[in-house]
Each structure stands twice: as C-alpha cells, then as structure tokens.
Amino acid sequence: MCCEVYRPATESVVCSRAANAHCGQSLPRGTTNAPLTALRRDGSLRPHKKECFSLFTYTDKTLSCVDCNTEFSFTASDQQFYADRQFSEPRRCPACRAAKKAARGESSGSYSNGGGYGGGGGGGYSDRPREMFSATCDSCGKEARVPFRPTGTKPVYCSDCFRR
C-alpha cells in the first residue's frame, strides 16, 4: 500500500507527496490519507485536492555529538521541525550547539547579526546597549544624542526638534 493512514494522537507525522497516480487503495472508515497540512488545529480537515500522500512517522533517536561524543536525544517533534524546514540532523548536542553559538557572539533568540543569512542587519534585537553619538542640533544648537555616527552631510536634530 503506498498510502499510510494518518494516525492522530501520540505520534509525530509529516507527509510528502507520493507517486503521481493515485494508488486506488481504499482506506478504513474514519481514517484519512490527507496531508498533515490539510488538518486544522481542531482536527477537522480543510478542503484540498485529493491526492495520494505518503506519511512518515518519527520516533525519538539517539545521536552522538561530533564535538564531545556524548549521546543526545533527537525527539520526534524535533525531527518533524527539522524535516519541515529541510534541515539536516543536528551533529552537536544542545550544550555544544549553545557553546558554539556563544563563541560566535550570538545571544539566544537574537537576530542582531542577520540571522545567519549573510545579509547584515536583521532587526537589531540585541542584548547590547545601543551605542549613541553626540552631535549638535542643526535647528536649536543643543547637544543631540543619536544612534548613528554623524557625517556632517545631513542635518542632525535633537529629540525635541525632531518631533516638530
């Protein structure tokens, strides 16, 4: 049978399309070969094209860390998360991943370095205090504290003048 039956409840399930032609297998009453993405959070099915899908069931795995050689658990839900995003299996245990991340200077949940996508910027969500620079307001002459290094090519305003 090319279609496995979707099993709600305890097992983590991820689906992918099988062969182009429908297998013609009939499913027992009360079961579905619908993709996981066709299921709503309340368990009901949303309308979708009828196609043949193959379901993969994940079970917890024990992997060995390439850095410290300790064994760590790769849970079924983590496997589903990795598969959904087409990530490869982790090669390091959570402790070694955290240590490597800390060595790169990243904070947990931070997008301050561009999120690893090579584009710089990334939202500025950093635990570091923002560096501020002093400048003279071009409107009133007071000292202005700004989050960028003034170059003199554009006017700089204090917060009061900027609000006007």
Residues in the chain: 164
C-alpha closest to that of 71 among 85, 84, 87, 60: 60
Phi, psi of 146 (to 5 degrees): -125, 150
Measured distance CA(37)–CA(50) in Å, rounded: 13
Q: How many CA atoms lie within 13 A of 143 on its CB side?
A: 4
* pLDDT tens digits in sequence order for the chain, 164 residues long: 344 444 444 444 444 443 334 444 444 444 444 455 556 666 665 555 454 444 678 889 999 999 999 999 999 889 989 988 999 999 999 999 999 888 887 555 545 444 455 555 555 566 778 888 999 999 999 999 888 888 889 999 988 898 88
How much is the pTM?
0.36
